[in-house]
Amino acid sequence: MKIVKHILGGMALLAASVATAQPPAPVPMPQGANLQAQTSPARPPAPATQQQRDVTAGYVLGADDVVEVTVLGQPEFATRARVKANGTIQLPFIGEQKIAGETALTLAPKIAEKLRSGGFYAKPVVNIEIASFASRYVVLLGAVAQAGLQPVDRDYRLSEIIARAGGLRDTGADFVTLTRANGEQRNYPFEKLASGGPDDDPWVSPGDKIFVPEAELFYIYGQINAPGVYPIRGGEMTIRKAVARGGGFTASGSAKRIKLFRDGEETKANLDMVIKPGDVLVVGERLF
């Protein structure tokens, strides 16, 4: 009898422990742990073009330029700094360093040597990137593909600066205005920049301003193969040249039925008349 009571008592205790046991609380997921499933990884920045790398390599650093200095595999050294008026920047471990007058290629080994000789890194691989060009540039404005600041990392001809900016737009005039840092100003025919001598395609200097104005326009409509708006280029333009620029007469167009609208007034025109900016030409049909 005692044995039976002992067994029954043990079974009761086991049942009670099973009934009171709670499942373990779920472990909360850290905030953002499932971000990888919800978002796509960030795209790396676009690689620099060969032209950008060449400019960076040869550009002479000066006040207000912004540089990024890194050491391969050493993220604690990464520094982005603006060159001070005295030509220096502050770097980790080695302190203030004069960099004005240096290029990225000449500066990198000098910083690497100071880090090595100071015992900070055994074989540092230093990389210099120019994040902002501010000390040596020319200003390019007007009817060009990419107006703005053009860094001057070496000696450039006027034609080279315009070519580096993508050339002139179709609406650009046929001359370029170059204003020197001292205020001296001169116009250069665009055609001679490539075909003329050295005097027709001068060297530019930091601080120069280059401006390509919009061309003066004329309008031609009516019985013409390519009606539209065209720039006046190449000196004086006659109505004969304007018709040729517009693709010539259609089969029904007449050289004797051209109307010229100038300053709101209509006048009869002939092929040898010189047109002016804003003139509107309307070519009429011939009489059969």
Same domain for 125 and 58: yes
User: Which of 87, 107, 132 is at the close of a domain?
Assistant: 132
Instruction: Look at residue 258 in the predicted model and tell me its pLDDT.
Output: 93
Q: Is 42 part of any domain?
A: no
β pairing state of 217-222 and 280-285: parallel
Q: Is 99 part of any domain?
A: yes
Instruction: Look at residue 12 in the predicted model and tell me its pLDDT.
Output: 44
pLDDT above 90 (res 73): yes
Dmax over CA atoms of the chain, in Å, equals 138
User: Which of 154, 187, 212 is at the close of a domain?
Assistant: 212
Instruction: Tally Cβ neighbours within 10 Å of residue 86.
Output: 9
User: Lowest-confidence range among 36-45, 62-71, 236-245, 246-255?
Assistant: 36-45
DSSP string, 8-27: HHHHHHHHHHHHH--PPPPP
pLDDT above 90 (res 95): yes
99: which DSSP letter?
-
User: Lowest-confidence range among 28-32, 51-55, 104-108, 238-242?
Assistant: 28-32
Same domain for 150 and 125: no
In the numeric block, the tokens 């309008």 are attached to 219
User: Which of 194, 212, 230 is at the close of a domain?
Assistant: 212
Q: Is 192 part of any domain?
A: yes
Instruction: Look at residue 250 in the predicted model and tell me its pLDDT.
Output: 95
Same domain for 126 and 58: yes
Q: Is 244 part of any domain?
A: yes
Nearest to 210 by CA among 196, 193, 194, 232: 193
How many Å apart are CA 153 and CA 125, to the nearest integer?
Answer: 24
Same domain for 223 and 207: no
Same domain for 74 and 91: yes
CATH code of the domain containing 98: 3.30.1950.10
144: which DSSP letter?
B
Please report, for residues 64, 78, 147, 206, 257, the alpha-carbon distance to residue 164 in angstroms, rounded to integers and kept in the order given: 23, 31, 10, 16, 46
As for how many domains the chain has, the answer is 3
pLDDT above 60 (res 50): no
Q: Is 82 part of any domain?
A: yes
Nearest to 79 by CA among 41, 107, 44: 107
How many Å apart are CA 75 and CA 72, to the nearest integer?
Answer: 8
Same domain for 149 and 93: no
Kindly report the average pLDDT of the chain as a whole number. 82
User: pLDDT over 70 for what percent of the chain?
Assistant: 80
Instruction: Look at residue 98 in the predicted model and tell me its pLDDT.
Output: 96
- The residues facing 221 across adjacent strands are 282
Mean pLDDT of 120-144: 92
Mean pLDDT of 77-90: 95
pLDDT above 80 (res 241): yes
Domain containing 103: what range? 51-132
CB 232 within 8 A of CB 175: no
Could you read off the pLDDT of 102-125 as tens digits, one per residue? 999 999 999 999 999 999 999 999
| Confidence class for position 288, pLDDT limits 50, 70, 90 | low
Same domain for 270 and 254: yes
pLDDT above 80 (res 45): no
Same domain for 93 and 79: yes
User: pLDDT over 90 for what percent of the chain?
Assistant: 58
Q: Is 56 part of any domain?
A: yes
pLDDT above 90 (res 92): yes
How many Å apart are CA 79 and CA 96, to the nearest integer?
Answer: 12
Mean pLDDT of 268-277: 90
Tell me phi and psi for residue 113, to 5 degrees: -65, -40
CATH code of the domain containing 178: 3.10.560.10
Mean pLDDT of 248-263: 93
| Confidence class for position 57, pLDDT limits 50, 70, 90 | low
Q: Is 226 part of any domain?
A: yes
